[in-house]
Amino acid sequence: MDRLDNTVRPYAWGSTTAIPHLLGIEPSGEPQAEMWMGAHPGAPSRTPRGTLAEVIDAAPERELGAAAVAKFGPRLPFLLKLLAAGAPLSLQVHPDLAQARAGYEDEERRGIPVDAPHRNYKDANHKPELICALTEFDGLCGFRDPAHAADLFEGLGVAALKPYADLLRAHPEDAALREVLTAVLTADRDDMARTVTETAAACDRLGGAYAPYADIAHHYPGDPGVLAAMLLNHVRLQPGEALHLGAGIPHAYLNGLGVEIMANSDNVLRCGLTPKHVDVPELLRIVRFEPTDPGVLRPEADPDGEEVYETPTDEFRLSRHTLPAGAAAHDLTRATPQILLCTAGTVRAGDEELTPGQSVFVPAGERTEISGPGTLFRATITV
């Protein structure tokens, strides 16, 4: 196995303290948003044998296993992260696999540079995600019942919101949600900025269920994404709880520290809460306009004590081991590649001793035993 040296991305929305505290180091004062573990070309983990991308490229079947290469190609199909949100991330949605392939091929055919600010599809892959909370974690996930969104708008007493509330009470529900999101994102920018400012003041005054939107508006004053966010379910995860974000589901992370795993893709369509490009027509084509239950996931323990977060996504499988002191070692040998991440205590993985924030890559089929005391997250795939 290879100990990983991982890059921390300093995105502006990142917490200045959460990742340093987990790692047991002094904060630098700068935002530290994400620590990447994997072979993503943007910031591949480093190993004693070179970057993890180079290690896999040199011998894909040896590192990943023949079944993984046959199913996903000669690349690690997931990216594991520590994500530390100190401010809301952009409101966004991801395409399904067919949409990603078609969108990527279309933009390639039109000659749009892959690093162009207005490019939507950086690759031909989908990007399902799973976020598991390490601390209390706030997020937005999926559309709430339109009638409940109408109640939320009406409760603010802002006259400019009444047309949206009226639309939300229309039927069918999918058409109502589409019409309101379209109206919010295509409204005159100056008029919308005034509406958002008035809405933010009312949210701040009322607090309670409105408090998350007051905070969002504080970070993104005048942004139409503030109203779009009010159409979504607000979720507060407790440590150990998780959310799975499938294709077409609008979402945003607001605050907290978590372990995130996703298919290896950069395809994001933004709805707001960002200075970046928002392609409204393409966004409206990708979004699933239907009320959904956020579906908070809690891990299911197997007889060996492995707690698995079950999802329909094959590109990744996330589980957790809580290892007491003095307990027998667990055998994690598996015919697929693995990344093991310690988040609490001290965990021995093979010959490596891991403390919080440290991780290793385990090639397919390599014999691996773990012991505690500590908590270990295990990322692998399903073949």
The catalytic residue among 270, 317, 320, 378 is 270
How do beta strands 374-380 and 352-354 pair?
unpaired
* Nearest-angstrom CA–CA distance, 107 and 99: 12
* Nearest-angstrom CA–CA distance, 153 and 285: 25
* Nearest-angstrom CA–CA distance, 264 and 261: 9
The string of DSSP letters for 190-238 reads HHHHHHHHHHHHHHHHH-GGGHHHHHHHHHSTT-THHHHHTTEEEEEEP
Instruction: Tell me the C-alpha to C-alpha distance, in Å, between residue 318 and each of 9, 36, 297, 378.
Output: 22, 15, 12, 6
* Nearest-angstrom CA–CA distance, 10 and 29: 11
**Inter-residue contact 56 to 63 (CB < 8 Å):** yes
Residue 210 is classified by DSSP as G
Mark whether 285 is an active-site residue: no
CA of residue 121 relative to chain centroid, distance: 17
**Inter-residue contact 153 to 159 (CB < 8 Å):** no
Neighbours of 119 (CB within 10 A): 18
- Backbone φ and ψ for 4, nearest 5 degrees, come out as -100, 135
Active site (catalytic) residues:
270
